[in-house]
Structure 1
Amino acid sequence: MVQVNRRKVLLGGLAAVTATAASAALPSWANARTTAAAPTIHDPFQLGVASGDPLPDSVVLWTRLAPAPLNADGYGGMPDATYAVDWEIANDEAFSSIVQSGSVNAVRASAHSVHIEPVGLQPAREYFYRFKSSGYLSPVGRTRTAPAAGAAVNQLKYCFTSCQHWEEGYYHAYKGVVADDPDLVLFLGDYIYEKKSGRAAAERNPRSLAVADDATTLALYRARHGQHKTDADLQAAHAIAPWIVVFDDHEVMNNWNGTTSPASAARKAAGFQAFYEHTPIRSTAKPNGASIQLYRQFVWGNLARFHMLDTRQFRNAQVADPSGSAGPACTDMRNTARSILGSTEEAWLLKQFESHPATWDFLGQQVFFATRDGDGDKATCESPDSWQGYEASRDRIAKGWVDRKVANPVVLTGDVHRHWAADLRLDYFDHSDPLIGSELVTTSVTSNSDTATPPSAAWLANNPHIKYCKGERGYVRVTTTPAQMRADFMTTSDTSVYDPASVVIKNDVSYVVQAGKPGLQKV
């Protein structure tokens, strides 16, 4: 059973303090300016706080004022008025050593969300932050800046996960993330689901959607994000460390793409806007209608570099599922003109591979990278909603890092609702082809697997590069040093039952990769 660490005690159940109860104890900064004529509101910090996108001198601080976040109108119970939000960042959790403070306006057009980007912070430092508005104090969050470029870093511990459908389980995984006390958290897509579960009642839990309609408008996307963010375990994980977030499809619409998308421009614009309003992402990613700059890079000293990718917005339309057969669909999947990233993002990523500032290169992205081959026949094909469905694009990226001598590439993946571990090759049908990297795939926080049946012996014989598969809920914990990367595949107890005293988080299996020696080794 997971033991609660002191950081969770610090977060104190994530309850804000009312002005009436604590006015005598408020520091002078908390009694700063208010916006004249704005109607009185009750506790606006129902969605907690978060930080993200850490740089050596900066980190994004986030909150949203929403006293009634489940309201179907998407405004979170906030009047049509502007509210001052004061913020403070400190060296210590008692806020006795204030580093920076300021005030911004939270406005209705942004659902009263705020993104603070303080600059001039010290690299590789732990900081604490909080907000105040209308006499209420937010919970306290902890964050950290990245190490300076080129700085020697002995270790980085981060967790990554994806896919958290509200109706399909409780967020036990985040109890484990909080207990792990990571330096960083990565989220690789499907932060919300725009649609109802569709699964049988036995596969869901007692949590229902406050607004059952599919999210198609900005109001409904906001309400969906708001409900997801009311989860106390998710809030605790956001408040424990900075996050780096990318989206997949369900933040907008199942299986949308950037070329022949079934999602209209208006729907994409609404989904992107709500995503931005609810994530600690930089203003460089603020949407411009149906366009958002999501792909970006982060460097952690001389140890790790993260290439955070967008495999939705610029991809060609996926082909119809060929279900393991040969034919025109396979020809389309292998068409050299097709891309899962688009030409501009592909060129950007290949350009990044030309420099080698860190020992490890992690590609944080959404869908399966390695081939999964059911029959061992190269003429057939499957899995169109993966890099396998854009084979030439995958080959360009994989050959790109090989040709540019990227020493230790590791692909990080979400989407498929099961843990997987795989080695990477240029030719998956030649089982003696050299290994060129590895892929770590996290299972979901809650979203159920379509099947829990493990791969058969015959299937594994066709896919010797696949080392592991597990159909339980959880996340992946990665500990990286200059000498090796260790991945712990964490699983949780039944997410359909919520009893905090009985939640169990366990390490199901661990693999390591030695620096300079591609290939997963089971611990």
Structure 2
Amino acid sequence: MLKAGLTASAVLAVPGTLLTGFAGSAAAAPAGNPFTLGVASGEPTPDGMVLWTRLAPDPLAEDGLGGMGDRKTDVEWELASDEGFRDIVRRGTETTGSELGHSVHVELAGLKAGREYFYRFRSGKDVSPAGRTRTAPPASAMQKLTMCFTSCSQYEHGYFTAYARLAEDEPELILHLGDYQYEYAAGDYKAPGGNVRDHVGPETETLGNYRQRYAQYKTDADLQAAHAVAPWLVVFDDHELDNNWADEVPEHPETPQPNFLARQEAALRAYWENMPLRKAQRPKGIDMRLYRSVSWGRMASFHMLDTRQYRGDQPCDDKFNTDCADRTDPARSLPGSQQEKWIAEEFRRSQARWDVLGQQVFFSQVDFTPGAGRGFNPDAWDGYPGSRDRVVDSWTAAKARNLLVLTGDVHAHWAADIKQRFDDPAAPVVGSELVSSSITSGGDGSETSPTTADTLADNPHIRFYNNRRGYVRTRFTQNEVTADFRVVPFVKQPGAPVETRGTFVVEDRKPGLNKA
């Protein structure tokens, strides 16, 4: 499954002579390699992390169980301080079965802070690829960090080359901000110029559908490389369930969907099964507590938001580039009142140099109508400006040091200054927003779009735009955050190189973007 030429890390191809260190034995797995979906890690703390894999000798099986059926399987795991696995620091066994989608979530604690580790799994005689992970720095440490973030990987629209290039940058942490997979049946969502690959199975509506779709995505070697190179922090957006869903409301509420809540329960369950998340985050019915804060010493606190489960339905009939009175109703909330209070409390408690919101949809105001008219995206924070104002006010009231918002969803690179009030020309800049383009969604893309000049002219707080596919690489230090907007020139063929199309710097205690 691992493509030749992926230089992300040697940990992806540990020599076979080193794969004999497992103690004991495990029950024989069905015929075929059960580790076709690779390995992953996530949720780093100063003393641990989550290790993940999922058994699937037949990954595209229609029932979503990957050829494992209803059997129970013991899966051994090892954690080492070296990629040769000569110094094993932990090992153990987890039992998985169909109730978990044959996934394994190993939660480790008691490790040394700020350390690199290597891990692998075994089922029967089969040994997984090895992955690299790390613990977060000690709580008091001001340790530099290289972090990459991205979103929106539509399998049909192109090859996941940008994941491979991200892995080659060897970040210490990766954030995925939603649309990890897409729900459509083959050909229902076409990229400009057509699709280059096809989804298997129908539009995802059942648990088996979602499990099969995640398995198809995870067989991709470039995605596996990105998972294996560093721990991830993840949040979902809409396509993990249904385009533009809001709380318990589907994209088209005018069309009766009596099974939507069952579909939501299946989607959340499959998401947890396929991500390196903790057991405490396992959903209960249609509820999943995904918002949380993860600290990287005193350098950064990553406040991971959920902008889908608690929002009110989109205003203006969810029509893009429109406006209506309902949009500015201050009672409307995108993260929901409980999560708004949680964000405010996290800002008050924070002692980090950089407070980072990892979230899904455009935070800054974007007027998409050229000239005197006004038109917004009601699915973004522009559909809930009162909610956005409350989040900004809670940050300024807490006198937190630096605010950085990271965003996915929109299939293009953007960078913007966050103003305390976007409709007030005299309002101060209070933070910065970095928006990652997609991995593939939208096809090859372009350097600009026909409306770029008009959009930038009407939104002077927006400092950068690029319509290629890619990701954002950030480097955190005490004095500044540097953001490189990384792009690949094409995704409709494999093997694209990567380039940096723009670089911006945010200085400590000086909100706003500076072009490097």
TM-score (norm 2): 0.93
Partner in structure 1 of residue 398 of structure 2 = 404
1:137-286 matches, cutoff 5 A = 137-153=127-143, 155-196=144-185, 197-200=187-190, 203-211=193-201, 213-261=202-250, 262=253, 264-286=260-282
Task: Mark the runs of 5 or more structure 2 residues left unpaired by the alignment.
Answer: none
Q: Compared with structure 1, are the counterparts of its residues 268 and 121 closer, same or farther at alpha carbon in structure 2 (3 Å cutoff)?
A: same
Distance 1:417 1:521 in 2: 23
Equivalent position of 1:44 in the other structure: 34
Tell me how far 1:40 sits from its aligned partner.
3.7
Counterpart Cα distance in 2 of 1:457 and 1:43: 52
Alignment of 1:436 with 2:430, yes or no, is: yes
Deviation at 1:5, TM superposition (A): 8.0
TM-score (norm 1): 0.91
Identity among equivalent positions (%) equals 45
Matched with 2:10 is: 9
The superposition leaves residues 128-157 of structure 1 with CA deviations (integer Å, 9 ceiling, x where unpaired) of 00000011110000000001112121x100
Instruction: Please show how residues 385-464 of structure 1 align to structure 2 within 5 Å.
Output: 385-448=379-442, 453=449, 455-464=451-460
Contact 1:339-1:392 at 8 Å conserved across structures? yes
C-alpha deviations, 1:206-254, integer Å up to 9, x for none? Answer: 321122x100000000000000000001001100000001000111111
| Whole-Å separation in 1 of the counterparts to 2:372 and 2:136 | 44
Contact 1:422 1:520 in 2 (8 A): yes
The 1:59–1:323 alpha-carbon spacing in structure 2 relative to 1, beyond 3 Å, is closer
Instruction: Write the letter of the residue equivalent to 1:8.
Output: S
**Contact 1:311 1:365 survives alignment (8 Å):** yes
Task: Specify the code of the residue in structure 2 equivalent to 1:231.
Answer: D
Alignment partner of 1:513 is 2:514: no
1:44-63 alignment, distance < 5 Å: 44-63=34-53
Contact conserved, 1:376 with 1:429, CA < 8 A, in 2?
Answer: no
Which residue is 2:289 aligned to?
293
- Write the distance in 1 (CA, Å) between the matches of 2:372 and 2:321: 10
Q: Helix, strand or coil for the counterpart of 2:9?
A: helix
d(CA) in 2 for partners of 1:440 and 1:454? Answer: 22
Cα deviation, 1:335-390, whole Å, max 9, x if unaligned, reads 12211111111111100110232100110000000001145889845210000101
Matched-pair contact (CA < 8 Å) for 2:248–2:261 = no
Please state whether the residue corresponding to 1:299 is helix, strand or coil.
Answer: strand
The answer to whether the Cα contact below 8 Å between 2:150 and 2:472 also exists between their aligned partners in 1 is yes
Which residue does the alignment assign to 1:316? 312
Q: Which residue of 1 aligns with 2:71?
A: 81
Is the Cα–Cα contact under 8 Å of residues 416 and 443 in structure 1 kept in the other structure? yes
Cα pair distance change 1:200/1:66, threshold 3 Å: closer
The match for 1:490 is 486
Change (3 A) 1:456 1:214: closer
**1:4 shift after superposition:** 6.6
CA distance in 2, matches of 1:204, 1:103: 45
8 Å contact kept, 1:309–1:365:
yes
How far the C-alpha of 1:42 sits from its partner, in A, is 1.9
Change (3 A) 1:203 1:344: same
For 2:191 and 2:169, locate their aligned partners in 1 and report how far apart those are by CA, in whole Å: 32
The whole-number CA distance in structure 1 between the counterparts of 2:159 and 2:481 is: 30
Please give the alpha-carbon distance, in whole angstroms, between the structure 1 residues aligned to 2:38 and 2:369: 48
Preserved contact between residue 322 and residue 381 of structure 1 (Cα < 8 Å): no
**CA deviation profile, 1:436-494 (whole Å, cap 9, x unmatched):** 00100000000007995154444323211001111110000001100000110000021
- 1:471 aligns to what? 467
**Contact 2:347–2:395 (CA under 8 A) maintained in structure 1:** yes
Q: Work out whether residues 78 and 91 of structure 2, in 8 Å CA contact, stay in contact via their aligned partners in 1.
A: yes
> What's the CA shift for 1:52?
0.3
* Paired positions, count: 502
Cα deviation 1:178-204 (Å, max 9, x = unaligned): 111100000000001011353557634
SS of alignment partner, residue 29 of structure 1: coil
Summarize the Cα distance change of 1:324–1:176 in structure 2 as closer, same or farther, 3 Å threshold.
Answer: closer
Contact 2:142 2:297 in 1 (8 A): yes
- How far does the alpha carbon of each residue in 1:406-463 deviate from its partner, in whole angstroms, 9 at most, with x for none? 2210100000001000001122233332100010000000000799515444432321
Amino acid across the alignment from 1:122:
K
Worse-superposed segment, 281-290 or 252-261: 252-261
**Is this contact kept in 1: 2:410–2:437, CA < 8 A?**
yes
Following TM superposition, by how much is the alpha carbon of 1:118 offset from its aligned partner in structure 2, in angstroms?
1.3
1:120 to 96, 110, 116: 110
Looking at structure 1, the residues matched to 476 and 394 of structure 2 have their Cα atoms a distance apart, in angstroms, of 23
| Partners of 1:518 and 1:369 in 2: CA distance | 16
Alignment RMSD: 2.2
Amino acid at match of 2:20: P
Q: Tell me the distance in 2 between the aligned counterparts of 1:508 and 1:177.
A: 15
CA gap of 1:81–1:174, structure 2 versus 1, over 3 A, is same
Question: 1:312 and 1:226 mapped to 2: Cα distance?
Answer: 23
2:146 is paired with a residue whose SS is strand
Contact 1:185 1:241 survives alignment (8 Å): yes
User: How far apart in 2 are the matches of 1:126 and 1:514?
Assistant: 28
Is the 1:299–1:306 Cα contact (8 Å) retained in structure 2? yes
Instruction: Describe the superposition over 1:270-295 as per-residue Cα deviations: whole angstroms up to 9, x where unpaired.
Output: 00111011100111110101111110
Give the whole-Å Cα distance in 2 for the aligned partners of 1:227 and 1:161.
19
Q: Could you say what secondary structure the match of 1:178 adopts?
A: helix
Contact 1:455 1:469 in 2 (8 A): no
Give the match for residue 361 of structure 1: 355
The separation in 2 between residues aligned to 1:376 and 1:467, in whole angstroms, is 17
Consecutive unaligned residues of structure 1, counting only runs of 5 or more, are none
